[in-house]
Amino acid sequence: MQQRLREAVAASILLVPLLAACTTAPQAQPVLAAATTSESVERDGTFVIDVAPQTMRCTGVAPMDCLQIRRDHNGPWELFYGSITDFEFQPGYRYRLRIEQTPVANPPADASSVTWRLVEVLDKQPA
């Protein structure tokens, strides 16, 4: 009897995270934003990112195409779910961009708490 009880408790502990992952409630759109390292932020509050030459399918609130970015020139590519004001991505080009990040006062629950704006295209090379 105790063995069955232990098995039932163990099974429920394993199932709860799986069931929680199946929720259909909209979630906030993640943005790789707030955590900037001191190496990546310059005195004027801007930072530099690399943008990969192709987007990747991703799912935020709905399926979409995400930019692949990295802050460390040798680091791994990460999906960027937001947009960069004044930046027009062209597939097939690698970019190095200077970005300004600005906090958004009272953002909606399903939106980012920061915005990114293009300050300067430092480099644009065909892939």
pLDDT, tens only, 76-119? 999 999 999 999 999 999 999 999 999 999 999 888 899 999 99
Half-sphere exposure for 94 (CA within 13 Å, toward CB): 7
**pTM listed for this prediction:** 0.66
User: Above 80 in pLDDT, residue 11?
Assistant: no
The pLDDT value recorded for residue 60 is 84
Judge contact between 69 and 98, C-beta under 8 A: no
Higher pLDDT, 26 or 101: 101
Judge contact between 95 and 124, C-beta under 8 A: yes
The pLDDT value recorded for residue 29 is 39
Judge contact between 112 and 33, C-beta under 8 A: yes
The pLDDT value recorded for residue 34 is 39
Q: Which residues pair with 49 in a beta bridge?
A: 97
User: Above 50 in pLDDT, residue 67?
Assistant: yes
